[in-house]
Amino acid sequence: MIDDTVLDRALSDADPGRTPRDAVPDANAIATRDRILRSTAAPKKRRRVRVLGWATGLVAVATAAVVAFALVTPQVAAVAGTPAPLDFEGEATVADVVEQAHTALAASAGPSAAERTVRTASWGFAVDVGKKESKVVPKLSTLTWEPDGSGRMTIIAGVPYDPADAVANSAAEVTSSGEVITDLIMEPGDFTTPWTTVPADDGEDMVAMLRAFGMPDDPTAFDVESAFTSVLQQWTLTNAQHAELLSLLEEAGDGVALGTSTDRLGRPVAGIRVQSPDGAASDLILISRETGRIVGVERTVLIADEIFDAGAIISYEMWDVPEGTIE
């Protein structure tokens, strides 16, 4: 959770004034809205929305200003072209994917303890309703924070590209433009989170951490994924902790394994898809075949709205970003 004054500073840094007044909210704004509606229980009288669990949600913090607008935008025809889905091949069960990931995790290098720093590649959309055009807008971010709530968030704009560009969407097109759109220094107390202490590797601590980030007592696979996505936006976890997260995902019982593919940073991955209880969206969890770590999540809309057709991929977040991607 980010303090109100910090949000104001970040919004100013990202210069949301460049967005036309009649602009339709982009995918990050819609995703932010959906996360707020799903995971917070703020009283209706509350004026300012705080985004729980979105440390790297500051990557999209400029879109937070239009969350309220997103809720009241009149319906228009879906206009946004979106990237093609990843191609998966082969067959596997969730148990197979998790077992293979556990083997890779035991054999690969990773941090010795959880770290309060995260490198993220993400994208959303810029949509021109009048021209019926959209662009994929990548962003590259680095977050580092301390137990006292101080820290730093740097956001670098990526090079936009056409979502219909098959080459761009199948390759590592999260390319830095060199433009720093936010360099936010957080003073002590600015950054708040439901979990500040370095978690232990055991399953008990992982369950407690996920519950702190909103996972219910009897979670679906989507509940588990939603909670650990929030965690991975704030922490770089150990291999043993990733193994515990994957075990919890398997135990939830309703994920679907998709086989193997290559993610949008060119890394070999296995996929597990989980669906929201209301059927409105599904998330694709990407697991590195080399390290066994959870390295990304892509969201797909399953119910058409005013911007996107059913089946549209609207966003991704990717972690364990290679050195040199963010410069």
Per-domain residue ranges of the chain: 4-318
Average pLDDT, stretch 5-15? 45
pTM for the model stands at: 0.76
Q: Which residues contact 308 (CB under 8 A, 6 or more apart)?
A: 27, 78, 80, 82, 301, 314
pLDDT, residue 315, reads 83
* Helix or strand (DSSP H, E) at 70: helix 67-72
CA 226 to chain centre: 9
CA distance 78 to 288: 33
For residue 218, pLDDT over 80 is answered with yes
* Mean model confidence pLDDT for the chain: 76
Q: Per-residue DSSP letters for 118-175?
A: EEEEEEEEEEETTTTEEEEEEEEEEEEE-TTS-EEEEEEEE--B-TT-HHHHHTT---
pLDDT, residue 170, reads 53
CA dihedral over 74, 76, 80, 82, signed as positive or negative: positive
Beta sheet of 117-128, edge-to-edge order? 176-186, 151-158, 133-145, 117-128, 313-318, 294-301, 281-288, 268-275, 256-262
pLDDT, residue 174, reads 62
CA distance 317 to 327: 18
Average pLDDT, stretch 264-271? 92
pLDDT tens-digit readout, 22-59: 444 444 444 444 443 343 333 333 322 222 222 333 33
The fraction of the chain above a pLDDT of 90, given in percent, is 50
For residue 228, pLDDT over 60 is answered with yes
For residue 119, pLDDT over 50 is answered with yes
Q: Per-residue DSSP letters for 185-198?
A: EEPTTSB--S--SP
For residue 273, pLDDT over 50 is answered with yes
Q: What is the CA radius of gyration of the chain?
A: 19
CA distance 83 to 96: 28
